[in-house]
Amino acid sequence: MSVLVLSDADVRALLDMESCIAAMEDALAALARDELSMPLRFVFRPPAQQLLGLMPAHRGGARPLFSLKEIVISPENAARGLDPHQGAVLLHDGETGQLQAVLNASPITEIRTAAVSAVATKLLARPGARRVAILGSGVQARSHAHAMRTVIDDPELRIWSRTPAHAEALALESHAVSCETVEEALDGADVVCTCTAAREPIVRHAWLAPGTHVNAVGSSVPSTRELDAELVAAASLYVDRRESTLNESGDYLRAVEERGIGPDHILAELGELLLGAHRGRTDDGELTLFKSLGLAVEDLAAAALCVARAREQGVGTEVAF
């Protein structure tokens, strides 16, 4: 028995943004059809600042597959020049349970997260949207700049970061404009992507133009948020998965506490929009919000695509196991 090992460089060579967006659409639609399953992620928090997340998923059907992403989140990695997300995705045969592949989780998390925001933007941004504000300058901000260029025709990108030099560097790399303040980046923006490590709101409802679409990405635990409660309460809220939002989203949970919203404030999951079970945006003045938390089924889909392509192209290293 051998196991295919795909490095960071291997995954990046195999997983282009356009193909990943299509794979995320397929996975989210399959989740809405109950063809994929997963529990809530398990998070272990030791006394240190880091945490370890375990995200299992299963695909049934003719090609059954188990996946497990184990990911360590080290917030201080950004200062070290490293991705805060470090770990691996394991793929197991769905019938025998044999381990088939081990993939570097950092590029999978980076690319598939931005790809899902791209899916949400395709579904929820108003027609003709061009002005995009990206808040943050790290791994996800960079990936979101790529994703927005993939789904928006000739976008005008604006970058803001707490560290101006980082904003300028990403703006130069992504052919964008760096902004000194959040308000400057948000001024007249059609689409907003929040990709920060903020613990308290950096975006306020009053700063957004009518008809804006927001992809809220950076906060994925109950104790942090990027948006104020007024924004969440005023927006038409869409999510990747209801159960995850109700249990894991600080942006949603704080709005429950401060503005009294409840589960019925979530209009639909992206998969339901893809299947036509919900109409989505109703007019150009509507404020739409996609709260991204990241799902194990997205990791499964991205990893399976990488492995299929690796087998076709002879990429990766086979290791006796």
Domain extents in the chain: 2-108+297-320, 121-294
Which pLDDT band holds residue 121 (cuts at 50, 70, 90)?
very high
Closest CA to 63 of 34, 92, 26: 92
Q: What does pLDDT average to over the chain?
A: 96
Q: How many CB atoms lie within 10 A of CB 244?
A: 22
Scan for tokens 């659409």, then name that residue: 25
Give me the amino acid identity at 275.
Answer: L
* pLDDT-above-90 percentage for the chain: 93
Scan for tokens 């308290």, then name that residue: 200
| Least confident residue range of 84-88, 237-241, 265-269 | 84-88
CB-based contact 87:106 (threshold 8 Å): yes
pLDDT of residue 43: 93
pLDDT of residue 79: 78
Which residues have C-beta within 8 Å of that of residue 121, sequence separation ≥ 6? Answer: 129, 147, 148, 151, 152, 191, 213, 215, 290
Say if strands 288-291 and 236-239 run parallel, antiparallel, or are unpaired.
parallel
214 pLDDT above the threshold of 90: yes
Do the two domains 2-108+297-320 and 121-294 of this chain adopt the same fold?
Answer: no
123 pLDDT above the threshold of 90: yes
* pLDDT-above-70 percentage for the chain: 100
299 pLDDT above the threshold of 90: yes
The arithmetic mean of pLDDT across residues 220-229, rounded, is 95
The arithmetic mean of pLDDT across residues 153-177, rounded, is 97
The arithmetic mean of pLDDT across residues 221-239, rounded, is 97
Domain 121-294 belongs to what architecture? Answer: 3-Layer(aba) Sandwich (3.40)
The arithmetic mean of pLDDT across residues 187-211, rounded, is 96
pLDDT of residue 132: 98
Say if strands 99-104 and 177-178 run parallel, antiparallel, or are unpaired.
unpaired
pLDDT of residue 88: 98
Name the superfamily (CATH) of residues 2-108+297-320: ornithine cyclodeaminase, domain 1 (3.30.1780.10)
d(CA 218, CA 115): 14
| More confident site: 106 or 78 | 106
Which pLDDT band holds residue 47 (cuts at 50, 70, 90)?
confident
106 pLDDT above the threshold of 90: yes
